[in-house]
Structure 1
Amino acid sequence: MNSIPSLITPATKRVMNLSHILRQAARRHGAEIGFVWGECIWSWAELDRRVDAMAAALAAKGIRKGDRVLVQSKNCNQMFESMFSCFRLGAVWVPTNFRQTPDEVAYLAQASGASAMICHSDFPEHAETIREAAPDVRFVISIGRSSFGENYDDLIERHSGQSAPEAAVEHDDPCWFFFTSGTTGRPKAAVLTHGQMAFVITNHLCDLMPGTTNADASLVVTPLSHGAGVHQLVQVARAAKTVLLSGERFDVDEAWSLVARWRITSMFTVPTILKLLTEHPSVDAYDHSSLRYVIYAGAPMYREDQKHALRKLGKVLVQYFGLGEVTGNITVLPPALHDLEDRPDVKVGTCGYERTGMQVSIQDDQGREVPAGVTGEICVCGPAVFAGYYNNPEANQTAFRDGWFRTGDLGHMDEEGFLFITGRASDMYISGGSNIYPREIEEKILAHPAVAEVAVLGVPDRTWGEVGVVVCALRPNQTLDEGELIAWLDGRIAHYKLPKHVFFWDVLPKSAYGKITKKAIREELETKGYLSSGLCRLRS
């Protein structure tokens, strides 16, 4: 039998340079507001001109297609613009978590092979450390006045009216190194590409925010370096304005005032921030009737918190499940499927169904798909899956199996294809020979009226192998002790799942993106000696 010749040729691999979505917005809606930060406002035409000027400045400094540009910055218009300036040149945008230490950011510079840095003036130590530890970084541009680099806005002015042509790019050309560490190890650079991100934008508009137009407005409440940056690309694709909080501190009252002032229609957040937004008194002080999509992701949202948010905001919640490596593109639970009642027809606890163009497979340790209702590892394939980890063949070997990306999350699907996440594979512990999934216990504990936040961890135990430990924070003016909580849980979960010890902290540690970090909790328990000698002591 004659083989079918490949239909893919170099000519058919070319895709739109991702920066072109900004050019499109400027052409069609140039005079309209594109970006708001405090009292400063930029039109789409102004943003496009500034991106052109910065692209010209970077090109004049020798930045070419494929070069990596490290960006250490808080949310600001310059950070937003830097993304498109890099894309326009075919360079790779490498944003950091701005709360990382200088040494941590230096590692990102080394791991990415960055040849330039754009650094906010508030981080001189980071710039100095980069100069010493990453000699391949040829120059630093400073956002704001500083002693360590040329001023970003001076370069914009100097190159005003100039432009660099949009680089020709193919589907798999990288545009963004999305650093992710999962639960263990040093950060890894997930390579996002022009073709992949074009699909992600289209999919977000299809599944998360249908009907988005230039009449819409989006509020940014999380760092643009990660999920919020993906969401703002989606807004640009429809010329919907982006509104930033005025400062780096998350101010709930300001957030709701901006929702009212700018008639915000969508925002991307994480469950802990959504909880803060809906439990703060200001949620009732401002008009938020303009909201259509309040999108939350990044961690499971406990049912009691979900119900509270629904009571405050109505049916505007959108949940999705997706790792950075799949750019948030695995499942969706739209507003219509969020319900206050725990009726038999309501799929309580699901994170939704497969996103358009994506496929989920629940697999056992050998890579075999398991039947509906059986727990296994959540694996995924489709155009939103990243190209792999940069310069890390070992991580790629682990992450992919038979073409499936292995998320490291555990869960099951029902007969209708709705996905239920049990937890991280690394979170599961085995006590007395039984697999125990912390998420189930955390859900039950969150139903207690005194509990605000909770994390359950498995810790070593000489008798049972591992036992469950609860660390929780209480709501204001509430009291609860270990015996009361365990007694309350007895009968609500199987006896073998009952945790053995409970610690009460004022607040649980969180990442820069609002996720409760179990790694930090475990380290704190170890530091205080509660896990010494393989035994968990009772007193906190």
Structure 2
Amino acid sequence: MTPPRGDFHERLLRHAAYTPDAPALVHAGETLTYAALAAEVDALALALAARGLGAGAFVALTARREIDHALATLALMVLGLPQVALGSRDPGAMRARLASRVGVTAVLGDRPEDAVPGVRWLDLEGILRAARGRSHRGTALPPPSGASTLHFTGSGTTGEPKIVAFSERQLAMHAETHVGCDGRRVLRPAHIEYNNSRRQRLYTLWRGSACLFADEHCRSLRDQCERDRADWLELSLVHASDLVATCREEGPLAGEVNLRIGGARVPHALRRELIAAASPHLYVSYGTTETSFVAVAGPSMHDAGESVGPPAAHATVEVTRENGAPVAAGEIGAIRIRTPGMASAYVGDPEATARHFRDGWFLPGDLASLDERGILSIHGRMDDMMILNGINIFPVEIERALESHPAVACAVAFAVASDIHGQIPAAAVELRGGGAVSAAELVAWARARLGTRAPRRIEIVAALPRNPQGKVPRREAARLFHGRMS
């Protein structure tokens, strides 16, 4: 693809010149137009520069108010400073480790407790007040101290999270290809400090659309969509389940609202429920922190196979065997991806870089298949695959079979060690409200659909563990299973 022209500041100034009154940031009745946003970003950049943030600085950002977070992110980009978000809910030790790993020299936060020991702390709220209280007419912005980079972390579910750094040019390339930015009023309930939320807000601003932030005073997500006239809604699994419950009681979303879910497996049952209760315009996407958007399943593509659609035009996707040879159509193998502007390394982690970046490809460690039509399906993580008497068993196939039972709300599969077989498949299951079925009945249900690949043991639990995004951490579920079996 042709690299996009300009950086985010130039793009913002262009929107401010051509569509000055168009909404850019919207939260709880407060709206910043593109003209106002450009002015506030420049004022904050000048105020930060006046406090000595220049060449050699690396800034960590913690801002609970989402508009302030967006303003600070853009102002640091104007100054050409590297930056990373430190989660406001993360423990202090975790924040300090991340700051140390990337070399943070200053923390820009909205509370004194956001400070990191031994690192300069700057009061974001105070600086914003001062910037808004003085005239900057005729004051020239300092030249950027370098090429601005934004650092993003992975989920951190295994050890320390991996860190990738993207330049503005790379993020602009992602913005040009990311699905969901075509909406004119884009609502993402997840806080901007999270990796994908932060990037999606930047993509939306690159396109000149409105970023709608979650309003905690709204009774429901459905109500906010109607009040703020959202036409594109970005969902996590938790938000999707809540939306289904609300829409079942109060009716579908008003108007033509597009829904998108990514970042996790989206079960077929949840897809059906969203289409029936909330909106028929459902998109399920696949991507990674390292590559950004890769594929999307549109409204007509939600069958029991849970595909994520064909790879996008900008993405090159291959599914291979261990020796790197391509698999046959429909065969499961390891996916490798190449996209414009993708990362090429992890920050400070050469071992992980060598494992995941090879010969211009990114290898996420996901299992996938491409059918005869070129439709991509994801079958879980390679390190979650089980081997029973030489047979490869994929947790996702067990989960799909169990979740096809009308009493099952959610299932998670994993391996249990066996002296005889090496590994045997097992599962933990959460039932729907009012659902009644025994573990033995579920074993029989799965065996009728999977044969020898069916789980040998199933434990029914009141509730499966979930992270803030609604994913069920497989290792936590396995520990819960072992605890109940011991």
Q: Distance in 2 between matches of 1:471 and 1:433?
A: 23
Which of 156, 159, 175 aligns to 2:131? It is 156
Partner of 2:18: 28
How does the TM-score come out when normalised to structure 1?
0.82
1:519 matched to 2:484? The reply is no
- Equivalent residue, structure 2, for 1:53: 43
Alignment pair present for 1:504 and 2:460: yes
1:353 alignment partner, SS class:
coil
Cα distance, 1:515–1:82 mapped onto 2, change above 3 Å: farther
Q: Which one is further off, 72-81 or 286-295?
A: 286-295
Q: Could you tell me which residue of structure 2 aligns to residue 194 of structure 1?
A: 168
Name the counterpart of 1:229.
198
Q: Determine if contact 1:360/1:380 at 8 Å carries over to the other structure.
A: yes
What is the CA RMSD across the aligned residues, in angstroms?
2.6
Deviation of residue 382 (structure 1)? 2.1
Deviation at 1:302, TM superposition (A): 0.8
**2:296 maps to what in 1?**
332
For residues 143 and 175 of structure 2, the distance between their equivalents in structure 1, rounded to whole angstroms, comes to 19
The answer as to whether partners of 2:257 and 2:279 remain within 8 angstroms in 1 is no
SS at match of 1:486: helix
Aligned AA (1:140): L
Match of 2:362 among 401, 405, 408: 405
| Residue-by-residue CA offset, 1:103-154 (whole Å, 9 max, x unaligned) | 1111111111111212243xx5442xx12xxx3x3223344xxxxxxx2433
Give distance in 1, aligned partners of 2:208 and 2:251. 25
Deviates more, 1:401-410 or 1:54-63: 54-63
Count of residue pairs brought into register by the alignment: 482
Q: How does 1:372-521 map to 2 (within 5 A)?
A: 372-494=329-451, 496-521=452-477
Aligned residue in 1 for 2:255: 290
Partner of 1:274: 240
Which among 296, 308, 318 is matched to residue 273 of structure 2? 308
* Equivalence for 1:256: 222
Native 8 Å contact 1:370 1:376 kept in 2: yes
Report how far residue 208 of structure 1 moved.
Answer: 4.3
SS at match of 1:243: strand
Once the two structures are TM-superposed, the CA of residue 367 in structure 1 deviates from its matched residue by 2.5
Among 217, 238, 254, the alignment partner of 2:185 is 217
**Distance in 1 between the 2:404 and 2:166 partners?**
39
Cα distance in 2 between the residues matched to 1:66 and 1:208 = 35
* C-alpha distance in 1 between matches for 2:318 and 2:161: 26
Q: Is the 8 A contact 2:151 2:164 kept in 1?
A: yes
Check conservation: 1:455, 1:471, Cα contact below 8 A.
Answer: yes
Q: How much identity, in percent, do the aligned residues show? A: 24
Residues 188 and 255 of structure 1, relative CA distance in 2, 3 Å threshold: same
SS in 2 for 1:351: coil
Q: Is 1:114 matched up with 2:104? A: yes
| Aligned with 2:27 (options 20, 24, 37) | 37
For 2:78, the equivalent position in structure 1 comes to 88
Q: 1:415 to 1:80 in 2, by over 3 A?
A: same
Q: Deviations over 1:396-439 (max 9, x none)?
A: 11111222110110111122221111111121111222111011
Cα distance, 1:476 vs structure 2: 2.0
Counterpart in 2 of 1:141? 123
Counterpart in the other structure of 1:176: 150
User: What is the alpha-carbon distance in structure 1 between the residues aligned to residue 4 and residue 270 of structure 2?
Assistant: 45
State the Cα distance separating 1:461 from its structure 2 match.
2.0
Q: Aligned equivalents of 1:283 and 1:481: distance in 2?
A: 28
Is the contact made by 1:193 and 1:386 (CA closer than 8 Å) also made in structure 2? no
2:177 maps to 1:203: yes
**What amino acid is the match of 1:227?**
N
Query: How far 1:462 moved relative to its partner?
Result: 2.0
Contact 1:49 1:160 in 2 (8 A): no
Match of 1:321?
Answer: 286
Partner of 1:8: none
For 2:65 and 2:480, the matched residues in 1 are separated by: 30
Q: Which runs of 5+ in 2 are unaligned?
A: none
Secondary structure at the aligned position of 1:492 is classed as: helix
Query: Residue deviations 1:35-89, cap 9 Å, x none?
Result: 2211322222222222112212222233235743212343521112122111111
Alpha-carbon distance change, 258 to 229 in structure 1, aligned in 2, over 3 angstroms: same
Deviation at 1:286, TM superposition (A): 6.0
SS in 1 for 2:221: helix
My pick for the range that moved more, 232-241 or 393-402, is: 232-241
What is the alpha-carbon distance in structure 2 between the residues aligned to residue 87 and residue 368 of structure 1?
Answer: 42
Separation of aligned partners in 1, 2:298 and 2:371? 18
After TM superposition, give the deviation of residue 449 of structure 1 in Å: 1.9
CA contact (8 A) 1:510 1:517 kept: yes
Distance change (3 Å), C-alpha of 1:291 and 1:516: farther
Structure-2 change in CA distance of 1:217 and 1:423 (3 Å): same
Q: What is the CA distance between 1:366 and its match in structure 2? A: 2.6
Once residues 166 and 415 of structure 1 are traced to their aligned partners in structure 2, the CA distance between those partners, rounded to angstroms, is 52
Question: Which amino acid letter does the alignment assign opposite residue 455 of structure 2?
Answer: P
Distance change >3 Å, CA 65–CA 481, structure 1 → 2: farther
Task: Check whether the contact 2:291–2:341 (CA below 8 A) recurs between aligned residues.
Answer: yes
Shift of 1:257: 0.8
User: Are the equivalent residues in 2 in contact too, given 1:471–1:504 (CA < 8 A)?
Assistant: yes
Quote the Cα distance in structure 2 between the aligned partners of 1:108 and 1:462: 41
Using the alignment, how far apart are the partners of 1:276 and 1:485 within structure 2?
A: 26
Q: 1:190, 1:325 within 8 Å by CA — same for their partners in 2?
A: yes
Residues of 1 paired with 2:56 and 2:347: CA distance? 13
Secondary structure of the residue that 1:19 maps to in structure 2? Answer: helix
